[in-house]
Amino acid sequence: MKARPNYFLRRLLLPLCLLMPLLSNAEHYIDLTVELQCDQWNWMLFNDHLSNPKSDRSIFSTNAIFHCVIGTNKWLVECGNADVKNSYWFNGANIFEQAVRFYGGVPAEPTAWASKSIDGNPGRPIRVADRMALNTYGRICWLAVCSGPCLKREGRKIYPPDDMWKESFLARSDWTDKTTVFADSLGVPKNLTLLTTNNQPILQYQVHQSTNVLSWNIPLEFYLVQYIQTGTNDWGLDWTAKGKVTDISIGTEHSFPREPGNPHWIND
């Protein structure tokens, strides 16, 4: 008996197929909704062994939801709630970060930062703050669907998305990435492993399911494991994350925020 086509995929892809003739001569962008669930096991194991735990937060959490727009050399990641909307985007030459606060539903004047970037990589070395600051979830989202421009560059350096590694033994280590990207012009990772010089994994990322849109491979489900060095030769589990794309549509140049007129420039 023939297998029935996946209804979810048909619902996502039918509108895209209808629009294909209109896009043949345009710069392509894809608009995504990404949901992430992350667990910080190293912190929970430490905290729950304390005589007076510092948090009664449940180990069950709701998914974080991101809006993303991706192209061959541009990307956007947005997240927020009723009080604030954070936008991070790369235009091929700069990374912008913008925060808009809402007071009684009314937006205040945006606060924006900008920094030069040759590949859109938000990760930075020790003693330098990562872009997409204090947003580990956002950096995981970047790795899954926005890292193509960075992975195309020779000599790139991929950093763990949780920047607390800078305060650990990992700060004394060096590593390389072992990466397989999808064979298309978008070039997002199919799998990626960060390995120390003695082949100890720091991070493992893997796509579980993917689909093809506009001749680009887009992850539908993915997962990530990040490890942390707890002693000279001891390693433990730090973070785990799993994500899924819940909506796909056609994006355009107008999907990106207007570039801020007078951002605070950050020089690394």
**What pTM, to 2 d.p., does this model score?**
0.86
Pairing mode, if any, of strands 64-70 and 94-103?
unpaired
For the chain, 268 residues long, give each residue's pLDDT as a single digit of tens.
Answer: 444 556 455 555 555 554 554 445 568 999 999 999 999 887 778 778 787 877 767 888 889 999 999 999 999 999 999 999 999 999 999 999 999 999 998 999 999 999 999 999 999 999 888 988 768 999 999 999 999 999 999 999 999 998 888 988 888 889 999 999 999 999 999 999 999 999 999 999 999 999 999 999 999 999 999 998 887 788 889 999 999 999 999 999 999 999 998 899 987 6
For tokens 């205040």, the residue is 108
- H/E stretch holding 145 reads helix 136-145
